[in-house]
Structures are given as C-alpha cells and as structure tokens.
Amino acid sequence: MNPGLKLILMIILVLEISFIENLSLNVIIIIICLIYLLKKRPSSKQLVGLFLGPLIPAVGIFLSQMFYGNGGSLLAGVFATRIYAYVFLGACFTFSTNMTDLMKALEQSFHVPAKFVYGILSAFNLLPKVIQQIKVIRTASLMRGVKINFWSPKIYFKAILSALQWSQNLAEAMESHGFVEDQPRSQYHPIRLTQRDWSQFFAILVVFQGLVLILNSKFL
Amino acid sequence: MVNVTIQDFSYAPTKKSGLILDHVNAQINSQQFTLLTGPSGGGKSTLLKFIAGLYPKYAHLALSGQILLNQQNMTDLNRNAVTKMVGMVFQDPDQQFAMDTVQNEIIFILENLQTDPNQIDKILQQVLDFCGIEELKHHSINTLSGGEKQKLALACVLAMDVELIILDEPFANVDPAARLDLINKLKDLQLHHHKTIIVCDHDLNGYENIVDTVLYLDGQSHQLNTLNPTQIHSLFASFKNATNSKLAINLPNKHQSAILELTDFKLQTADKILLALDNFKFYAHQTTLITGANGIGKSTLFKALVKLTNFQGSILFNQVNINKIKPIKYAQQVSLLFQNSEDQFLEITVQEELELSKKMRQNSAFSEDAIQAALEDLNLAHLLKRNVYNLSGGQKKKLQILLMLIMNPPVLLLDEPFSGLDLESLKVVIRLLQTAKLKFNQTQIIISHQLTNLDQLVDLHVQFSQQTLNYLEVL
C-alpha cells in the first residue's frame, strides 16, 4: 500500500482503539498484527524486544488501574493490552515501510512541502553520525583529561554545536546541489496512489468497523 | 560561457574584525583553469563561496563592491539562475551530501533540476563512470573514504551540468595518485567539455602546466593578485624546492623498543577487510609516517588505536593490553589529533581551550614561555578571544595541534595534521613536533598525504597497502 496512506490508516486505527474500551478488540488486533509481523520474518531479537519493550508501561498501567482506578480488572486489562496494540500496529508499519519511500509518498501524493521531506530525510541520514560523534566527544575529552558522562552538560553542548554546524552545512549542501524551496522537482521513482491502495484502505476500515460493532454488541 | 568579474570587493566576517578581503579585483575568463592560492586563513574559502553565490545568505555583514557573473551582479541573480551556472565542491568531504547512498544523492540533484526521469539513469551512469566510482553506486555515503567522497562530490557537480566548477581544497584528504587523476579529469573537463574551473589549493603539486591563471590571495595585505607568467614560474619553483623527492630513510633497528604492538590484529568494515597483521610494532621516541592510498583504512587504524572502533586481536601499549587499561589513563597516554579539528575542541574561545590544556595536562614540559612563543609563531596570539568554531580551517588546525602539544601525551597519533596549512605555518608546526619528540620524548605516528618538508621530522616510514603494514627504506 502507498506508505502515506498506510500512515493515515494507522493513525485512524490507533485513534479508534483509544476511544473503545474492549479487551477482545485489542487482543484480536494484537494477534492479527503478530501474524502479519511473523510473515515479515523478524529476527528473534526484534520479537523479544516487541514483547519486552512495552512490558513495564503495560504492567504499570494495569496495576495502577487495579489498585487505584475504579474500573476493575477488566478495564485494567483493556489499558494494558491497548499499549501492546499500539506497539504492534506501529511495528507492522515500520516493518513494512522504508523511511525514504514514506517521505517520498508524503511529498508526491500528500503535498507535504519538499523542504520538510528532504530536511527530515537528511536528518535521518545523520543519525549514525550523531552516535559516532558522541563517542568522539567522549574520547576527545578523555584525551584532555576530562571525563564526561551522559549527564554532563558539555556533551550536549558539543552535540548541539555539531548539530547546528551540520544543519547549516546541510542547507548549503542541499542548495548547492540544486535544491530550491517551493520549486517543482521531477520524480525518478514516482510513488503512486492507486485505486488498489484506496480499496485496501477502505476494506480494512470497513472490516474494522464491523469487528467493533460485533464485539461491542456482544460484550457491552 | 561564464565570466566572473570581482570588482572592488571587500568583506569582514564580523563588525569588529578587520577586512579579510580588501577591495580586491580579478577577472576569471570562461573555459580557463584558475588556481587560487595563498596562506591559510587568508579568506580563500570565503571568496569562493561568494563566487558560488552561497554568501551572503549564509554569512553576513560589511561588504563593498560586487561580484559579477557574466556582467550581472550576483545579488541580482536569483538562486535558480546561479545554480544552473555554478557548482561547488567543498573543503570538508563529510558535509556536502544530503541523501543516504551515492545513487540517491545524484538522483536527488537531477530531480531538483527537473530532469526528465527517463534521462536520469543515463546521466547517473555517465557521471559515475567519468569519476571512476561506478562500483560505489549503491554504497552508503557514510562508509566512503574521504577521497571517494570527493570523487562523488565532483560527480554531483557534473550531474548538475554547470559551466563553472569551483573546488575548495578538494584534495586535502586525497592520496597523490588519486589527486593527479582528479586534476587531469578537471583539465579534461576544461578542454573537452567547455567547463571553467576554479580550484583553491595550498599544495601546488600537479598544477604546473595545467593552470592558465594563478590568483594569489595575500594574507597580510588582503589583496588578490593575478600572477604573471614569471611569477607563476617562481611560485612553482619555490614550492618544488620545498618538496622533497625520494629520500633514504632508516628501517627500525634491533635496539629500538616497541611502544605499541599489534598481534593477530584484524580491522574490517561491513564489506571488506582493511588490515590483517600477525605482529606489527610501532617504536618509541620515533616519528613514524604512515602513507597509503585513500580509503585503505589509515584513519580507521588510528581509531582502533584509540578504541574508537572495534577490532579483532590485541593491541599492547608498553606490553600491556590496552583493554586492561582504564579508558581515561589510556586516552592520556595515547592521544589522537583528529582529522577534523573541531572534534578536538571542548570549550568556546581560543583562550579557554588553552587554559583547559594547561590545567589538565599530566606534565608541564611545554613551558609558559614556549606556549607564548608558539602562539606568536603560529599567528594565533591575536585570536585569544575568538570563538574557536569561527576560525579559518588553517587556524583551527594550528590551534588544535598546539592544544595537543601542550597536553604532551607520551604517544601522539596525528591524522593529516598538515592539511590546510600554508608553508610558513607548516615549518613552525614541524619545529614544534621536533621539539616534542627530542626534548619531551614523545612518540609520534603521523598519517599525511602532504610530504613537503617532512624529511626533517620523520624517522620511520610505514606503507599501508594490500591489507598490511611494511617499513620502507625511502620517504
């Protein structure tokens, strides 16, 4: 599906489950997402992370609802599974979409201005550099006899300074490579928004609403 | 065709500082190969950015006069018009790309220029072929070496199909063979593809008989002089005298003691092995020069020696495995002079940087008087209040070297310490390094492409090639 449309679909689904208090719905979403994810063959490390990552907030919200809330264990279960549903929906999205395609789709089909699209993309490409830079900052300071930890203001000062420098250089680089704000660009690899994308989009939404209706009439 | 006219042009970086370009004039004609040279910190990069139309948007203040592109004032031209005429390759290979891979960067450019998508593949292929980086097409730009990045930067400018190509110290991190290759490619572009070339460089190797015009920016008078043929001839002659030819050099002897020893050592990136050594020694109290082609892994070797990158096998420092030494202890014993000067800085002003080094150093071998004298000799004494990030490339490099010499670690690794230095500064730096070695017993290991005047300093020469290191008998 067109990555931009997929993002919108995800946002709609996430918003909907935020307002619907239904345990079965959350569980069904988690199972469907898990099946989808398994088809994408994630590494075992990624899978473990998916289950363990949300564990603390999920348990936390469960316990606080159990002991301090007035909705009882059913509502506590809804809140806890909701966190997992969010994470699994998000994972389905990130596992099936690459950043460049998403940004290009937003540019081409959803009229997001090119300066945001390429600004975000190039910032994204800077990430490995940021990580390496933090190592360099720490080593450089050790060589000057100064030990800086992750909570030292100096590391942030240097990192921000590097970021400012990079952002100016990036702007110069983009401009010297012919990028001009608000000027039309051609597309080497057009990302289309097809009939098929739209039908998938509506099909999933309709099925989802059906599911919500059935589950709500039965259990509430 | 593109003619550049610089008319009565003045510029000062801030209101308080003096002019770095003082009412300069010059004429650069279409389809000429122009070399811009002069001492570091003289404002060459600034002038080039003005010609490329990147200033005054990114810098500001106090300018008189004008720069004309084909008789039109630069400030009257819109960005689009300038982009179609002028392309620039920057000094720092790390900071001129916006996208993730080689291919995507070129596509980004072509899309910006609204190139017909059907033409993109063809142009992409042509420019990569011309620059000899076809095999890097799908590589991530983050994994390229400095020299490979500069070839890509040139490919980018070619993709833009501009007539005027401006290159700011493009070969500072490029090995001699690739450098000659690139200079010849530029000449080819000038002669057969009707390009106008302006290159700024301190290192004059390879330009004789190639350039049509030489502009000299004088650091003292802030004047830009167009040299006549006699002056050009003597400029190259004096440079050649300073450049040494093949000199004999000693091999390490049995009496020398090892200070760093690499055993079963292996260094690799995601897709290739850079270095594999059974056993290799660096010797104490010597200056060892490491040379080798770009991208072969010299800087990565230094990163391994200061534990900034992973390696297999072991590194012994004075017979102790470096993984068993506390990080801060080790960092103060074996320090690195980073290739990028700014990586070394921790404070804001020149003064604060000097104070930090003086406060934290382990020994005071470098006396207060010697520091003052060095500041004067390096032409830094008047810059104490300046923000280190606003210094010129050459000034940053000189300050960085001084800071690490004040720290005076037992082993100092220097990654391209001479890039961007003019001949005078180079002599001072070499003298300071000489003193640190002879008087303070420092061990120095240097990576440098620039070999001018190095014969006075270097004791041992290591060649890095075919995934191994070997001591050589010539420099």
Given a cut of 60, whether residue B58 has pLDDT beyond it is no
Pair (B216, B264) in one structural domain:
no
Divide the 220 residues of chain A into consecutive groups of 10 and give the mean pLDDT of each group: 92 91 89 91 87 91 86 85 93 89 89 88 82 91 90 85 81 84 86 90 93 75
Q: How far apart are CA B134 and CA B315, in angstroms?
A: 36
Listed in sequence order, the residues at least 6 apart from A10 whose beta carbon sits closer than 8 Å to its beta carbon are A89, A90, A92, A93
- Interface contact flag, B346 A146, Cβ < 8 Å: yes
Q: In this structure, is residue B213 part of a structural domain?
A: yes
- Interface contact flag, A177 B403, Cβ < 8 Å: no
Nearest CA in chain B to A135: B308
For B225, the domain range is: 4-242
**Helical residues (DSSP H) of A69-179, grouped into ranges:** 72-96, 99-109, 114-143, 153-176
- A-B CB pairs within 8 A amount to 138
Phi and psi angles of residue A54, each rounded to the nearest 5 degrees, phi first = -80, 0
Q: In this structure, is residue B249 part of a structural domain?
A: no
Nearest CA in chain B to A188: B117
pLDDT number for residue B395: 92
- Interface contact flag, B112 A185, Cβ < 8 Å: yes
pLDDT number for residue A168: 80
Q: In this structure, is residue B430 part of a structural domain?
A: yes
Distances from the Cα of B131 to the Cα of B36, B113, B283, angstroms: 23, 21, 39
Chain A residues lying within 8 Å of B107, measured CB to CB: 188-189
What's the average model confidence in pLDDT over B250-262? 89
Q: How far apart are CA B469 and CA B305, in angstroms?
A: 14
Q: Which of A177, A179, A180 to substitute to test the interface with B, most B CBs within 10 Å?
A: A177
Q: Say which DSSP state B257 is in.
A: P
Phi and psi angles of residue B13, each rounded to the nearest 5 degrees, phi first = -65, -35
Listed in sequence order, the residues at least 6 apart from B332 whose beta carbon sits closer than 8 Å to its beta carbon are A142, A143, A145, B362, B407, B409
Chain A residues lying within 8 Å of B96, measured CB to CB: 169, 172-173, 176-177
Helix (H) or strand (E) segment spanning residue B262: strand B258-268
Contacts of B8-12 spanning 24+ positions with Cβ under 8 A: B8/B64, B8/B65, B8/B66, B9/B50, B9/B63, B9/B64, B9/B65, B9/B66, B9/B67, B10/B62, B10/B63, B10/B64, B10/B65, B11/B43, B11/B46, B11/B47, B11/B50, B11/B62, B11/B63, B12/B61, B12/B62
Q: In this structure, is residue B66 part of a structural domain?
A: yes
Angle at B177 (CA atoms; ends B174, B178), nearest 5 degrees: 45
Q: Which of B57, B58, B108 to substitute to test the interface with A, most A CBs within 10 Å?
A: B108
Angle at A128 (CA atoms; ends A156, B149), nearest 5 degrees: 115
Which of A53-57, A94-98, B61-65, B375-379 is predicted least confidently?
B61-65
Q: B412: which strand partners?
A: B335, B444
Given a cut of 90, whether residue B121 has pLDDT beyond it is yes
Pair (B202, B279) in one structural domain:
no
Q: How far apart are CA B462 and CA A67, in angstroms?
A: 71
Nearest CA in chain B to A183: B112
Pair (B269, B219) in one structural domain:
no
Q: How far apart are CA B219 and CA B382, in angstroms?
A: 15
Distances from the Cα of B289 to the Cα of A105, B75, B394, angstroms: 51, 47, 21
pLDDT tens for B188-227 read: 999 999 999 999 987 888 898 899 999 999 877 888 999 9
Pair (B11, B129) in one structural domain:
yes
Tokens standing for residue B94? 């790390």
CATH classification at residue B17: 3.40.50.300
The interface predicted TM-score (ipTM) is: 0.76
Q: Are B464 and B296 in contact (CB under 8 A)?
A: yes
% of chain B beyond a pLDDT of 90: 57
Pair (B265, B150) in one structural domain:
no
Angle at B322 (CA atoms; ends B318, B327), nearest 5 degrees: 120
Pair (B165, B229) in one structural domain:
yes
Q: How far apart are CA B292 and CA B271, in angstroms?
A: 20
Which of A192-201, B43-52, B167-176 is predicted least confidently?
B167-176
* Mean of pLDDT over chain B: 88
pLDDT number for residue B386: 93
Pair (B111, B190) in one structural domain:
yes
Residues present in chain B in total? 475
Of the candidates A103, A129, A127, the residue with the CA atom closest to the CA atom of residue A115 = A103
Tokens 């980073």, located at residue? B338
**Helical residues (DSSP H) of B88-225, grouped into ranges:** 102-112, 117-131, 146-160, 176-193
Given a cut of 70, whether residue B393 has pLDDT beyond it is yes
Phi and psi angles of residue A180, each rounded to the nearest 5 degrees, phi first = -125, 130
Based on the structure, what is the number of domains in chain B?
A: 2
Q: How far apart are CA B40 and CA B20, in angstroms?
A: 12
Chain A residues lying within 8 Å of B52, measured CB to CB: 176
Which of B269-283, B335-349, B372-386 is predicted least confidently?
B269-283
- Interface contact flag, A136 B338, Cβ < 8 Å: yes
Given a cut of 80, whether residue B40 has pLDDT beyond it is no
Please report the DSSP string for B373-428 in residue order.
HHHHHTT-GGGTTSBGGGS-HHHHHHHHHHHHHHH--SEEEEESTTTT--HHHHHH
Angle at B408 (CA atoms; ends B403, B413), nearest 5 degrees: 85
What dihedral angle (degrees, nearest 10) is formed by the CA atoms of A148, A150, A153, A158?
Answer: 80
Nearest CA in chain B to A99: B100
Interface of A with B in 17-56 (CB under 8 A): none
Of B238 and A218, the one with more pLDDT: B238
A140 at interface of B, judged by CB pairs closer than 8 A: yes
A137 at interface of B, judged by CB pairs closer than 8 A: yes
Q: In this structure, is residue B436 part of a structural domain?
A: yes
Chain A residues lying within 8 Å of B360, measured CB to CB: 144-146
Pair (B228, B265) in one structural domain:
no
A169 at interface of B, judged by CB pairs closer than 8 A: yes
Phi and psi angles of residue B7, each rounded to the nearest 5 degrees, phi first = -120, 115
pLDDT number for residue A214: 87
Q: In this structure, is residue B410 part of a structural domain?
A: yes
User: B380 exposed, middle or buried (CB, 10 Å; 0-12, 13-18, 19+)?
Assistant: buried
Q: In this structure, is residue B250 part of a structural domain?
A: no
Nearest to A154 among B97, B99, B346 (CB): B346
Query: Residue B336, Cα to own-chain centre: how many angstroms?
Result: 16
Which of B43-57, B115-129, B373-387 is predicted least confidently?
B43-57
pLDDT tens for B1-26 read: 889 999 888 888 766 667 888 889 99
Angle at B309 (CA atoms; ends B307, B314), nearest 5 degrees: 60
pLDDT number for residue B286: 94
Pair (B49, B24) in one structural domain:
yes
Chain B residues lying within 8 Å of A165, measured CB to CB: 342, 389
Nearest to A173 among B98, B100, B344 (CB): B98
Given a cut of 80, whether residue B272 has pLDDT beyond it is no
Query: Residue B104, Cα to own-chain centre: how many angstroms?
Result: 26
Pair (B441, B346) in one structural domain:
yes
Q: What is the pTM of this model?
A: 0.72
- At B143, is the pLDDT very low, low, confident or very high (cuts 50, 70, 90)? confident
Pair (B222, B301) in one structural domain:
no
- Strand B312-317, strand B258-268: pairing: antiparallel
Task: Indicate if the alpha-carbon torsion angle A141, A146, A149, A154 is positive or negative.
Answer: negative
Pair (B51, B174) in one structural domain:
yes
